[in-house]
Amino acid sequence: MIRKPKMVKIEKKVEETRAITSLYFHYSPWGFEKNDITPSVPFTPGQFFMVWVPQVDEIPISVSFHEPPNYWGITIKNVGEASGAICNLNVGEKLGIRGPLGKGFTLDIGQSIFLGGGVGLAPLRPAYFAYANSSLQPIVVNCAPCGEDLLYHAELEELAKNNVIIYDYATEDGSCGCQGLGTDLFRQVLDATLPEKTVEFAACCGPERMIVKTLEIVERYGITNFQASLERMMRCGMGLCGLCVLDPTGLRVCSDGPVFNGETLHSCTDFGQKVREFSGFKRDL
C-alpha cells in the first residue's frame, strides 16, 4: 500500500445526527489496483483514514464500516473547518483517502462490551459488527448529551431486536434512554452482567476523560483486557513526524495506536492530561 491520497466518489451519505455524518465509497489504496480482481485490503477495526478535501485540509477519521473487498464508510462530526467541509460533501462529490492506517483492536473471542461516547462509537462499529456471525452477543453502551445526538441509535436498536447485540444507552439530559453519563450506565451494565457472565474484553472510544474513567471502572471490575482508541493531532499518519507521540513512552498514536491497551495507557503520563497542538506545542487536554 502506498500512503498517498486517492480521490474517491461518495456513493452514499447518511446524516446520522445534527452534527454527525457518514459517507460511503468504494476505495482501494494505491498499490492495490488490479485489472481482473479487486484484492481485499487488510483492515482491522479501529484503523483510520487520512481524509483530504483539496484546498481545505487533511484530517484523521476512523473507519466506521468495511465490507470486503473495498466498500468503506467513515463517520465524521462537524467540529471545525475540515470536518465541516467533509460533512458538507454530497453523493457524487469526491474526497481524498489515504490508508487504512494505524493499529486497531485485537478482538477477544469471549464476551465483549463496547462503550462509545458521541462520535467515539464510530471506530467501535466495525469491531462489534465483527461478532455478528458468532454466537456471542457483544454489549454496546452508547451515550451522548441528548437523544438527538445518539449515533447509530436506530441501527443499534434493530441489531438488538435481532439479538445480534445487547444495547444500552444513556443521555445526559435524559431525553432518550437512561439519564446520566455513559460511564455511569457502563458501570450499571457491568453490575447487571457480571453475576452471570465473565466479561473478557472491554473497548472504549470517546472524550479522553471518559476513557480515563472507563479504565478505572474496568480495573475495579477485574476486566484485564481493555482497549481504547485515542485521538491526537496528526500530520503524516504513518509514524514519521512524531506530532502524535505520547510521553514519556514515545509511542505514536498514528502507528503504534490509535488503539492502546490499559497497561500501555497507564505508562503514558500524557494520557488524559496532555496533547500537542499542530506546532508541536504541548498543552493541557
Partner 1 sequence: MLQVDIGSLKLNSPFIMASGILGVSGSTLAKAHHAGAGAVVSKSLGPETREGYMNPSVIELFPDTFLNAVGLANPGIDEFAGEVAFAKKEGATVILSVFGGELGEYGEMAAKAEEMGADAVELNISCPHAHVSCIGADATLTDEVIRIVKAKTSLPVIAKLNPNVTDIVEIARTAEKAGADAVTAINTVRGMAIDIDAKCPVLANKSGGLSGKLLKPIAVKVVYDLYEALQIPIIGCGGIFDWRDAAEFFLAGAIAVEVGSALWRGFDLFGELANGMKKYLKNNNFSQLSEITGLAHRGATQL
Alpha-carbon radius of gyration of the chain:
18
Q: Tell me the window of 15-23, 91-99, 114-122, 186-194 that interacts with partner 1 (CB under 8 A).
A: 91-99
Q: How far is the CB of 82 from partner 1 (least distance, A)?
A: 8
* Nearest CB to partner 1, comparing residues 130 and 233: 233
What backbone phi and psi angles, to 5 degrees, belong to 137?
A: -105, 105
Binding mask 219-258 for partner 1 (x = CB under 8 A): ----------------xxxxxxxxx-xxxxxx-x--x---
Binding mask 54-83 for partner 1 (x = CB under 8 A): xx-xxx------------------------
* Nearest CB to partner 1, comparing residues 195 and 278: 278
| Strand extents, DSSP E, the chain | 6-9, 12-15, 20-26, 48-53, 57-67, 71-77, 94-101, 112-117, 139-144, 166-171, 178-179, 201-205, 225-229, 245-246, 251-252, 259-261, 274-276, 282-284
Q: Does 89 bind partner 1 (CB under 8 A)?
A: no
Among 4, 26, 197, 220, binds partner 1 (CB under 8 A): 4
* Nearest CB to partner 1, comparing residues 98 and 213: 98
* CA pseudo-torsion sign 125, 103, 183, 243: negative
How far apart (Å, rounded) are the C-alpha atoms in residues 9 and 123?
22
Query: Longest C-alpha distance within the chain, in Å?
Result: 55
Q: How far is the CB of 219 from partner 1 (least distance, A)?
A: 25
Q: How far is the CB of 278 from partner 1 (least distance, A)?
A: 5
For 238, other C-beta atoms within 10 Å of its C-beta total 16
Among 11, 15, 26, 31, binds partner 1 (CB under 8 A): 31
How far apart (Å, rounded) are the C-alpha atoms in residues 195 and 48?
36
Q: Does 180 bind partner 1 (CB under 8 A)?
A: no
Among 196, 222, 263, 281, binds partner 1 (CB under 8 A): 281
- For 192-216, b/e burial (b = at least 16 CB within 10 A) is ebeeeeebebbbbbbbbebbbbbbe
* Nearest CB to partner 1, comparing residues 57 and 200: 57
How far apart (Å, rounded) are the C-alpha atoms in residues 140 and 129?
11
Q: How far is the CB of 52 from partner 1 (least distance, A)?
A: 6
How far apart (Å, rounded) are the C-alpha atoms in residues 87 and 192?
38
Q: How far is the CB of 55 from partner 1 (least distance, A)?
A: 7
Residues that bind partner 1 (CB under 8 A): 2-5, 7, 31, 50, 52, 54-55, 57-59, 94, 96, 98, 235-243, 245-250, 252, 255, 276, 278-282
